[in-house]
Amino acid sequence: MSFWPKRALILGESGGIGSALSEALRVNGVEVVGLSRSRDGFDLADPATVDRCLGMLEGTFDLVFVATGILAPSQHSPEKSLFAIEAEVMAEMFKVNAIGPALILRHIPKILTPDRPTVTAVLTARVGSISDNRSGGWYSYRASKAAANQIVRSAAIEIARKHKNACVVALHPGTVQTAFTSDYPGYEKRTAPVAAAQLIEVMKDLEPQQTGQFLDWAGKRVPW
Ligand SMILES: NC(=O)c1ccc[n+]([C@@H]2O[C@H](COP(=O)([O-])OP(=O)(O)OC[C@H]3O[C@@H](n4cnc5c(N)ncnc54)[C@H](OP(=O)(O)O)[C@@H]3O)[C@@H](O)[C@H]2O)c1
């Protein structure tokens, strides 16, 4: 049976992928509620704003999509060597990319529509895969996304105990042309609307028994 949401919540709706996904869902008749740091003060680095924004939401959602994330704090870039590691930068990366999704996920049991199939998807990244790491570097980004994957997996197990129809997954969107990748002009990138359409196709095929998986934009399992 194909999953299709009536009501979706997009966290990080201001981002390249978040905005494209929001638009694609809206034009297809989904009621979308979006939250963003720049527009709503929804700041993952400030847990009180996360609780306030999520606590103010009314009603429940069939789809919750976490599209937030950073490659590096502003004025920084991913580390190319061990020597480049800075404690404060790494802490900031964990705050936004790993603790941030965890702060969101702790609200999920309250905001999922009961008695209907639901999907909760968190954008992580293939470079967060430990077994797929063949080139090293990018310590903070890789480690923060690996931590996010583990948090998604644990949340999936816990949420499944009471929400039998819930599917909670980590998704890798592929390389997408957004502000996120603007410093990497040489890479082949898909546009955000194309990436959003592909992610929607993946989510449409999700079943509750797939909860806890890490999937890419084509629906293929990514190794942890
Ligand atoms: N683009 C790619 O090629 C690619 C590849 C692999 C994985 N991903 C993952 O996909 C996700 C989205 O990427 P994107 O390309 O759409 O990036 P983007 O265009 O740079 O958007 C990033 C989003 O994250 C939000 N954000 C950043 N820091 C935040 C904070 N402290 N609190 C709350 N929101 C915050 C931004 O909010 P404001 O703008 O409102 O501040 C924005 O909505 C990220 O997790 C990224 O790791 C992307």
Neighbours of 52 (CB within 10 A): 13
Bridge partners (DSSP) of residue 112 are 61
Q: Cα–Cα distance between 16 and 152 in angstroms, integer?
A: 22
Q: What percent of the chain has pLDDT over 70?
A: 100
For the record, the structure tokens of 167 come out as 């599917």
Which residue lies with its CA nearest to atom 18 of ligand 1? 15
| Mean pLDDT of the 92-100 span | 98
Please report the atom of ligand 1 found closest to the CA of residue 17.
16
Residue 108 has pLDDT above 70, yes or no: yes
Tokens coding 76? 């920084």
> What are the pLDDT digits (tens) for 124-176?
999 999 999 999 999 999 999 999 999 999 999 999 999 999 999 999 999 99
**Pocket test residue of 23, 50, 141, 180 for ligand 1, highest count of atoms within 8 A of CB:** 180
Strand segments, DSSP code E, in the chain are 7-11, 31-35, 63-66, 118-123, 166-172, 176-177, 190-191, 214-216
Please say if the pLDDT value at position 16 is more than 80.
yes
CA 44 to chain CA mean position, Å: 12
- From 70, 99, 151, 171, the mutation candidate for ligand 1 (largest count of ligand atoms within 8 A of CB) is 70
Tell me, in angstroms, the distance from the centre of ligand 1 to residue 179's CA: 8
Q: 10 CA to middle of ligand 1, Å?
A: 12
Over 70: is that where the pLDDT of 100 sits? Answer: yes
What is the residue-averaged pLDDT of the chain? Answer: 97
Q: Which fold has domain 7-216?
A: Rossmann fold (3.40.50)
- The confidence score (pLDDT) of residue 97 equals 98
1 CA → ligand 1 middle, Å: 31
Nearby residues of 170 by Cβ (< 8 Å), 6 or more positions away: 121, 122, 123, 124, 148, 149, 152, 153, 213, 214, 215, 222
pLDDT at 1 over 70: no
Q: What is the pLDDT of residue 185?
A: 84
Q: Which pLDDT tens digit goes with each residue over 30-82?
A: 999 999 999 999 999 999 999 999 999 999 999 999 999 999 999 999 999 99
For residue 175, which atom of ligand 1 is closest to its CA? 3
* Half-sphere CA count of 130, side-chain side, radius 13 A: 8
Tell me how far the alpha carbon of residue 151 is from its chain's centroid: 12
Question: pLDDT at position 184, please?
Answer: 87
Q: What residues does each domain of the chain span? A: 7-216
pLDDT band at 177 (very low <50, low <70, confident <90, very high): very high
Q: How far apart are CA 44 and CA 201, in angstroms?
A: 28
| Most ligand 1 atoms within 8 A of CB, residue of 23, 68, 216 to mutate | 68
